[in-house]
Copies of this chain bind each other. A is one copy, B any other.
Amino acid sequence: MLFSLSVIPIGTGSSLGDQLAKVLKIIDESGLPYKTNPMGTAIEGEWDEVMELIKKCHQSVMASNERAYLIINVDDRKSKPNRLEGKVKSVEERLGRELKK
């Protein structure tokens, strides 16, 4: 199952880098496969383990904020493992060219 997570701390100025660094550290140390990008982070895993990780990220943000917004998208496709690598690759093969990543 593929998840994407964007965390938006609210009420502490317009620079969110320090708080996003804390979140990315939690994801990086979780051991789950992930890929981060400028608008969020894609994470691969089973429902319970990824949701547990997202809850931890959320709690870390709420520890120093009055308010936070999360955007979580889930793409679940039966019998399709390793989609974190495979999804973009399969599009690149169809196109016969490499995409920017």
Q: Which residues of A pack against B, CB within 8 Å?
A: 2-4, 6, 8, 10-11, 13-14, 16-18, 20-21, 24-25, 28, 33-40, 42, 47, 51, 55, 58, 62, 65-78, 83-85, 87-88, 90-91, 94-95, 97, 99-101
Chain A's interface: helix, strand, loop or mixed, by majority? mixed
A78 proximity list for chain B (CB < 8 A): 62, 66-67
For the complex, give the distance between the alpha carbons of A14 and B77 in Å: 8
Contact B101 A35 (CB under 8 A): yes
Kindly report how many copies of this chain are found in the complex they form together: 4
Give, as a whole number of angstroms, the nearest-CB distance from A5 to chain B.
Answer: 9
Most buried by B among A3, A47, A67, A69: A69
